[in-house]
Amino acid sequence: MSVRIAPSILSADFARLADDVACIEAGGADWVHVDVMDGRFVPNLTFGTKVIETLRRLTALPLDVHLMVVEPERYFDDFAAAGASSLTIHVEAAPHLNRQIARIRELGCLAGAAVNPATSLEAVRESAADLDLLLVMTVNPGFGGQEFIPSTVDKVRRARALLDAARSSAVLEVDGGINRDTIADAWRAGADTFVAGHGVFGAGDPRQEISVLRRLCMEHV
């Protein structure tokens, strides 16, 4: 299994967005994680179509768009047209998960489902075979720089078992508080894709930090 590092642009310096994107690209980032928040699903507001379009012009890396919004389907068309590579919606905001996943795929994006720390994995079990990506939140979404919730490691292990049981090849992503201290635990539990905001952009050398994080996984096979 290979390690995918997805720095979260939420922690970038927006006055130097082009430089920060170039920096993580040069550091070997696999994906760029884009946190869309609507001030309703989570108590914070971030960005939308224009920033996705801008990022699309700045990099050829896949744009991993995490929709922390209510009624996510309202944004699918615009975000796909803006250049999103994957659209991940929260099961807590998706009463018709199968229909929403199908629509995301129709638009040519990878379809992801995210679960908050307090949400049972049972919410995705029936759809597991249809998912391209399962995102297990390792903090309560809304802000960068929060502390990793240790009990989510066991949840990642159960998520891996759930995907395997469904014979799903979906990406298993973790998001929140991923840094040098936490990444190896999540990797050993079965995650393959690691969002890191503060862990990368808060490091002395963000470019170097991507390799450090990747190496910490590879050392723990």
Residues that bind ligand DX5 (CB under 6 A): 8, 10-11, 33, 35, 66, 139, 141-146, 175-178, 195-199
Residue 220: C-alpha distances to residues 151, 187, 212 (Å) = 20, 8, 13
Catalytic residue among 20, 38, 64, 175: 175
Identify the H or E element spanning 207: helix 206-218
Nearer to ligand DX5, 54 or 202 (CB): 202
Which residues are bridge partners to 114 per DSSP?
90, 135
Minimum CB–partner distance for residue 156 and ligand DX5 (Å): 15
Residues in the chain: 221
| Partner whose binding site includes residue 10, from ligand DX5, Zn ion, none (CB under 5 to 8 Å by kind) | ligand DX5
Question: Is 35 labeled as catalytic in the residue annotation?
Answer: yes
Reading the block at residue 68, the tokens are 């922390």
User: Could you count the other beta carbons within 10 Å of the beta carbon of residue 13?
Assistant: 9
Which one of Zn ion, ligand DX5, none interacts with residue 176, CB within 5 to 8 A by kind? ligand DX5
Tell me whether residue 103 or residue 198 sits nearer to ligand DX5 (CB atom): 198
- Among candidate residues 30, 35, 64, 185, the one labeled active-site is 35
- Of the pair 126, 181, the CB lying nearest ligand DX5 is at 181
Rounded Cα distance between 218 and 200, Å, is: 18
47, interface contact from ligand DX5, Zn ion, none, CB < 5-8 Å by kind? none
Is 13 designated active site?
Answer: no
Which H helix or E strand runs over 209?
A: helix 206-218
Question: Which CB atom, from 84 or from 196, has the smaller least distance to ligand DX5?
Answer: 196
Q: Minimal distance in Å, beta carbon 79 to Zn ion?
A: 14
Q: Tokens in use for 190?
A: 């079965």
Nearer to Zn ion (CB atom), residue 133 or residue 166: 133
Instruction: Choose among ligand DX5, Zn ion, none what residue 48 binds, the Cβ cut-off being 5 to 8 Å by kind.
Output: none
Q: Cα separation of 170 and 164, whole Å?
A: 9
Structure tokens belonging to residue 210: 């991507």
Closest distance between Zn ion and the C-beta of residue 65, in Å? 9
Which of ligand DX5, Zn ion, none has residue 145 at its interface (CB below 5 to 8 Å by kind)? ligand DX5
Residues 6+ apart with CB under 8 A from 66: 33, 34, 35, 36, 88, 112, 114, 135, 175, 195
Residues 72/96, Cβ–Cβ less than 8 Å:
no
**DSSP character for 9?**
G
Contact residues for Zn ion, defined by CB under 5 A: 35, 66, 175
CB of 219 to Zn ion, least distance (A): 25
Contact 116, 141 (CB under 8 A): yes
Q: Which residues are catalytic, by number?
A: 35, 175
